[in-house]
Amino acid sequence: MPEAFRLRLEHVDEVLAEGKDPVARIQTIFGAPMEVDLREEVSRSLYVYGSFEDDLVAAFSRLLRPGAVFVDIGAHYGFFSLWAATLVGPEGAVISFEPTPDTAERLRRNLGPFETSTVNAAAVWDADETLSFNTFDVSWSAFNSYTSIRAPDDMDTPAPVLVEVPALRLDSYFAEAERGPDVIKIDAESAELNVLRGAEAVLAAYRPIVTIEVGDYPHLVDAGVPNSCEILGWIQDRDYVLFEPGLERETPHVLRGPLEYGYQNIVCVPAERLTGLMA
């Protein structure tokens, strides 16, 4: 392990063991500064390595062009929103959604330098309504969701605090918009199919590329949460082709069966946009 990484890991351990201030300013691998909280897993990865989900980072570098419109659903502290803002430039736009109030405030601070970014403190859903939302302590803030936490049911996870958050459909959000999305990232902690159903008109009109975080937990599926096969099958039926992101290129993805997905992201490309894009 490089010395710089080792020293950062040691600092994280020291902060957590001694109860020091966990808020840190980091430099991402693409140069944008970012505020994180070292009590939280994604933040620790960003602090040590400057990156997270490197395959998706690489995929966006190929899929996002200057001037594009990027929609980040489940933006958390904004790592992918910042990366997208860097890629699309001043002629593009980044539209981020984060329903948890304190998380959305940090997201706003992180995106503040980018004038073309918009932060919406709301959930994306299949109806325009108020949603009861499970929030966990900051260590688990990336797992806030309308369901039980997306983690193995034998893991020692905190009890949720229920809050009311505004929820909306992407179809409503873009109904009067001058431009539609070119790329949509969905990391919605069990709400992925709800997001897609609330964006059917957007998908039909603008044919954006969509990335979806998947992963099956039997206790959630037993509770009625759609499995990954169902989610990916839904968008595949709308003439999308599935790929797995990679560091150098995307590779075709063959739809698996129910409960056969571990944690990963899938890139969904409209069939008519394949020529030249995924070569």
- Ordered structural domains, the chain, with CATH: 1-51 (no CATH), 53-273 (3.40.50.150)
Note the pLDDT of residue 83. 98
At 137 the pLDDT is 85
Query: Alpha helices, DSSP H only, in the chain?
Result: 3-18, 41-49, 54-63, 79-88, 101-111, 170-173, 192-197, 200-206, 218-222, 228-236
Work out the percent of the chain whose per-residue pLDDT is above 70: 96
Asked whether the predicted pLDDT for residue 230 surpasses 60, the reply is: yes
Cβ within 8 Å of residue 123, ≥6 positions away: 97, 99, 131, 133, 146, 165, 166, 167, 168, 188, 191
pLDDT at 153: 65
CA distance 16 to 87: 34
Please report which helix (H) or strand (E) contains residue 251, including its range. Answer: strand 251-252
Q: What is the pTM of this model?
A: 0.95
Residue range 127-152: mean pLDDT, rounded: 84
Comparing 98 with 278, which gets the higher pLDDT?
98
Residue 146 is predicted with a pLDDT of 81
Contact 55, 79 (CB under 8 A): no
Q: What is the pLDDT of residue 104?
A: 96
> pLDDT digit string (tens) for 5-30?
999 999 999 999 999 999 999 999 99
CA distances for 105 relative to 37, 46, 108, 200, 239, angstroms: 13, 19, 5, 29, 37
Q: CB under 8 Å to 186, separation ≥6 — which residues?
A: 73, 74, 192, 195, 196, 210, 211, 212, 213
pLDDT at 249: 95
- Percent of the chain beyond pLDDT 90? 81
Section 204-224 average pLDDT? 91
pLDDT of the residue at 277? 66
pLDDT at 35: 98
What's the pLDDT band for 190 if we cut at 50, 70, 90? confident
Name, in order, each residue with C-beta under 8 angstroms of 2's C-beta and a sequence gap of 6 or more.
none
Segment among 141-155, 249-263, 264-278 with least mean pLDDT: 141-155
Give me the pLDDT at residue 157, please. 74
Instruction: Please compute the mean of the pLDDT values over residues 259-268 and round it to a whole number.
Output: 95
3-state secondary structure of 134: strand
Q: How far apart are CA 264 and CA 176, in angstroms?
A: 33
Q: What is the per-residue pLDDT across 51-94, written as a single tens digit (0 to 9) for each?
A: 999 999 999 999 999 999 999 999 999 999 999 999 999 999 99
Give the integer Cα–Cα distance in Å for 24 and 212.
29
Q: Which two tokens stand for residue 92?
A: 């593009």
Whether pLDDT at 279 is above 60: no
